[in-house]
Structure 1
Amino acid sequence: MSWILEAQKPYYITTPIFYVNAVPHIGHLHSAVLADTFKRFQELKGRRAILSTGTDEHGLKIQQAAQQAGLKEIELCDKVSQHFKDLFDAANISYTTYIRTTEPRHAVAVRELWDQLWARGYIYKGQHEGWYSVSDEAYYPSTQVEEKTNEKTGEKYHIATETGKQVEWTTEENYKFKLSAFTDKLTEWLDQNPEAILPKGRHQEVQGWLKSGLADLSISRPKSRLTWGIPVPGDDSHVMYVWMDALTNYLTVTGYPWKDLSKDEKAVCGWPADAQIVGKDILRFHAVYWPAFLMAAELAPPKTIIAHAHWTQSKMKMSKSIGNVVDPFTAMKEFGTDTIRFYLMNDGGLADDADYSSEMVTARYRKLLAGQLGNLLSRSTSVALNPSSLIPSAPETDNIHADDMLLREKMQRLQSTVDEALSGYRTTQATQAIFDMLAEANAHFSFAEPWKLVKDPSKKDRLDVVLWHTLEAIRLSALMLQPIMPSKTSEILDQLDIRKDERSWEFAQLGRGWEIEREKRRVVIGGPPMFPPLNATK
């Protein structure tokens, strides 16, 4: 296997590439913000990181959608792919590559992978018949198909139980991949790597699929049925099956097939992916087909696949036909980009679906962002409490006031808690830990009543200690929230006069702030609210 030296390897994380048969919705943004958060977290810790996103542009759905719109396929792809790119730019997604499967470099990578699998005897031509879903671009065995009856017409039809999409019985000649040969290898891979798929329930779900064995997989369609795709090498009468094509994008981004790279260059290309973010509806393709393709080509599988849950609205699955799909552009315009990023990371589900509502976004903004973080910043930087604007000196650690102990303990534990959470791809655990500490900081501030201390010159030392702990709580929070809320946290750290070279993970520890040139450090006093009323954020 082609294993890469960890010491030289950058952190490589991917979003799924998004299908261009429809414009982006809030679930697409959720995937992208998850990947961006983890990528930024690694960079915060000093590691070079790669984030790839992009669009999946081949297949029967695109062909049909273009025909219905009266467009050429590439015209439709250009238009919708740009929508996704605009969304990720608006959402401050720090992608390093935006890949489109219609790019020439991708065709090179896909043909190379096909040739490798063909040369190793894992591809053959044969007759295929089975239940096929145009919507999913996938075949399903009879055990995963259910008969339904149209309540109005009485007409019988069939759906894939996994996705709910309609399927039709199809018979055709195509190329097949020997997926059945990888049941044991995939089982061994999952058994030996308990965090290969997260959350744990999804890992167990895939193990369950493998117990019943795997059938060989159709990886091409006759050109008579599908023209919009990459032709099979050596046989132009067939076009590659969309998932064989699409999944290879994760290799394309790294420069695969790496033929012209030196050993050292291969070591820093990024493969294997450290984390691949996907929605739970495409888990089978990423957790079964994809690692099998890689194993067949003697390439390492991804280290971790994170399959997140979906967003609902009013407990109903979002659907264009129902009209309850959340437009992410509208959401960011209404609440602000960082607010939506925070809401997705705080409330979005990994194991269970989460319900999206503007009311809940508003509640999170008012209670947490404005009510805890913004309010504490505003109160502690008021001209009444600190007219000099100078940042107080840190208190002597051998003489800590009893009233400060609980807050200090929470601040001391926070870095390890957030590190463990984000390293384990659990954003909600990280945000909850941060705001639990901020809640204590607010309580500590209120209990100390600094507005009374400032009136008594003999209490100046105590006032300074209270202000220092409050500002330190804000500094730590802003540092650790950087991967989730990059713009707002930058503004907060600017207000606290934290230098650019003091914003890395090593400084996210109690007492590591304002250590250089202390006499010049001044907090910005009496500025506008960091989290203004929502009607003023637009």
Structure 2
Amino acid sequence: MQIQQAAEQAGISEIELCDQVSKRFRELFDAANVSYTTYIRTTEPQHAVAVKDLWNRLWEKGYIYKGQHEGWYSVSDEAFYASTQVEEKTNEKTGAKYHIAIETGKVVEWTTEENYKFRLSSFTEKLGEWLDKNPNAIVPKSRHAEVQGWLKSGLSDLSVSRPRSRLTWGIPIPGDDSHVMYVWMDALTNYLTVTGYPWKDMNEKDKAVCGWPADAQVVGKDILRFHAVYWPAFLMAAGLDVPKTIIAHAHWTQGKTKMSKSIGNVVDPFTAMKEFGTDTIRFYLMNDGGLVDDADYSSDLVMERYRKLLAGQFGNLLSRSTSLALNPSQTIPTQPSMNNVHRDDIALHLKMQVLPQIVDEAMAGYKTTQATTAIFDMLAEANAHFSHSAPWKLAKEPSSKERLDTVLWYAMESTRQAALLLQPIMPSKTAEILDQLGVHSDERTWSHAQLGKGWQAESVSRALKAGGTPMFPPLK
């Protein structure tokens, strides 16, 4: 309905409007260095095939029926709300009364119409059992508990169609062209479409690796009800597997207020990446964003993270340890003994030893902030170790050559380890850093992120690549 209304206002067709929006998202993914296996649009022919197949399954099993539906409907949310989910408001200027959905704050209108309904109420118990048996079905735990609360209050049958007289923009109901399919049944099915569903021409081997059930589906917290109640209910009714985990992340705000075009506090990601660099924005989003609590976007905070962490910790350690003054041969020193660690190196050595496991556990739990925090805690220790060891003094004493090499090795090794672990978040900058450190392209896997596993303890020193400009130059 939103698309139909917006297209009417713009004086263009719905597909033209969608083409414009879709193009903008593709441009954003390219600019942000975001890759994807499949870019799905629900206007594609194969998607209509998948949706109609799912509908027919539900119809044949008796989970869809035609009936009268009335209730509070939000065009913005594309959802009906029960009376208990709605509250009355008064316009301060005009005194006019209106109603909003408590959950989203969007305006709702009382709507009565004949449509098709899905027997969602019959899945209350089954959905509850699924959540009880799978404590990680919804992440984080607070969202898991939120959905359980919805189920305890009971579920009503769900309207799954709109009359074509009201909504022309949508996939027609199989066998009844006077109705179009409810947007969420249509949209959610795209997770199946990209796997090749309905899998009729797919052999068992290909079906086993098609990608369903999904290991993880990532959604915003505002659409959790559709993904954690409606979607698994549709799948259960159709006799299909449910996703293993649904990750519902919190939102970004600005000035502690939800971003809104009407308020004018929306951040343009293209502008932000142009101003600070793509990898800087990617790092900020993963470092400061969260699953549980909303995070506030701030250009000042982006600048602070860049200055203190990326330039001050990461870039600074790289430039100090590879400087001509301390390393005139511009080579990676030979790896010191991992069994007889110098007492001044123990604290850093231990941090580097356990870091991969900490990062692995954090990322496995979708806690990117914990992962980046652990990496930069290690880099802070490495910088402190470098300063405490005073390699500029060691460089003046020929008898201290071995100790100097050890200090430089730990600085470069910590930089290499951090770069490897940050590859998913900052792919471009970490590639530059690893290039400068002489790390070959086949030495950048997870196994190489372990302490002392990078340069294979080569007996012959490996050459560094000339650094040139600072890795993280000062921002204007």
Query: How far apart, CA to CA, are the structure 2 residues paired with 1:70 and 1:516?
Result: 67
Residue pairs, 1:280-291, within 5 angstroms = 280-291=221-232
**Partner amino acid for 2:460?**
E
Q: Using the TM superposition, give the Cα deviation of residue 474 of structure 1 relative to its aligned residue in structure 2, in angstroms.
A: 0.5
SS at match of 1:99: coil
Q: Which residue of structure 2 aligns with residue 65 of structure 1?
A: 6
Q: Does 1:496 align with 2:441?
A: no
Residue pairs, 1:44-193, within 5 angstroms = 60-193=1-134
Residue pairs, 1:391-430, within 5 angstroms = 391-430=332-371
SS at match of 2:331: coil
**Partner amino acid for 2:235?**
L
Query: How far apart, CA to CA, are the structure 2 residues paired with 1:100 and 1:525?
Result: 45
User: Identity percentage over the alignment?
Assistant: 77
1:37-61 C-alpha deviation (Å, 9 max, x unpaired): xxxxxxxxxxxxxxxxxxxxxxx11
Query: How far apart, CA to CA, are the structure 1 residues paired with 2:219 and 2:231?
Result: 12
Match of 1:311 among 252, 256, 277: 252
Q: Which residue of structure 2 aligns with residue 440 of structure 1?
A: 381
Q: C-alpha root-mean-square deviation of aligned residues, in Å?
A: 0.9
**Partner amino acid for 2:358?**
T
Q: Which residue of structure 2 aligns with residue 48 of structure 1?
A: none
Residue pairs, 1:314-463, within 5 angstroms = 314-463=255-404
1:136-165 C-alpha deviation (Å, 9 max, x unpaired): 100001110010000000100000001100
Q: Using the TM superposition, give the Cα deviation of residue 526 of structure 1 relative to its aligned residue in structure 2, in angstroms.
A: 4.5
Q: Which residue of structure 1 aligns with residue 420 of structure 2?
A: 479
Task: Tell me the number of residue pairs that the alignment of Structure 1 and Structure 2 aligns.
Answer: 476
Tell me, yes or no, if the aligned pair for 2:287 and 2:373 is still in contact at 8 Å: yes
Q: Using the TM superposition, give the Cα deviation of residue 500 of structure 1 relative to its aligned residue in structure 2, in angstroms.
A: 1.1
**Partner amino acid for 2:450?**
Q
1:375-413 C-alpha deviation (Å, 9 max, x unpaired): 000111100111111111111123211000000000000
Match of 1:275 among 202, 205, 216: 216
Q: Does 1:293 align with 2:234?
A: yes
Q: Using the TM superposition, give the Cα deviation of residue 89 of structure 1 relative to its aligned residue in structure 2, in angstroms.
A: 1.1
SS at match of 2:332: coil
Query: How far apart, CA to CA, are the structure 1 residues paired with 2:433 and 2:125?
Result: 52
SS at match of 2:40: strand
Match of 2:184 among 233, 237, 243: 243
Tell me, yes or no, if the aligned pair for 1:383 and 1:526 is still in contact at 8 Å: no
Tell me, yes or no, if the aligned pair for 2:50 and 2:193 is still in contact at 8 Å: yes
Q: Which residue of structure 2 aligns with residue 12 of structure 1?
A: none
Q: Structure 2: state its 5+ residue gaps.
A: none
Q: Which residue of structure 2 aligns with residue 53 of structure 1?
A: none
Q: Structure 1: state its 5+ residue gaps.
A: 1-59
Q: Using the TM superposition, give the Cα deviation of residue 525 of structure 1 relative to its aligned residue in structure 2, in angstroms.
A: 4.2
**Partner amino acid for 1:164?**
G
Tell me, yes or no, if the aligned pair for 2:140 and 2:248 is still in contact at 8 Å: yes
Tell me, yes or no, if the aligned pair for 1:383 and 1:525 is still in contact at 8 Å: no
Q: Using the TM superposition, give the Cα deviation of residue 520 of structure 1 relative to its aligned residue in structure 2, in angstroms.
A: 6.1
Query: How far apart, CA to CA, are the structure 2 residues paired with 1:253 and 1:516?
Result: 45
Query: How far apart, CA to CA, are the structure 2 residues paired with 1:256 and 1:497?
Result: 45
Query: Which structure carries more relative contact order (alpha carbon 8 Å, separation 6+)?
Result: 1
TM-score, length-normalised on structure 1?
0.88
Q: Which residue of structure 1 aligns with residue 165 of structure 2?
A: 224
**Partner amino acid for 2:428?**
S
Query: How far apart, CA to CA, are the structure 1 residues paired with 2:209 and 2:398?
Result: 60
Residue pairs, 1:178-217, within 5 angstroms = 178-217=119-158
Q: Which residue of structure 2 aligns with residue 255 of structure 1?
A: 196
> Which has more radius of gyration?
2
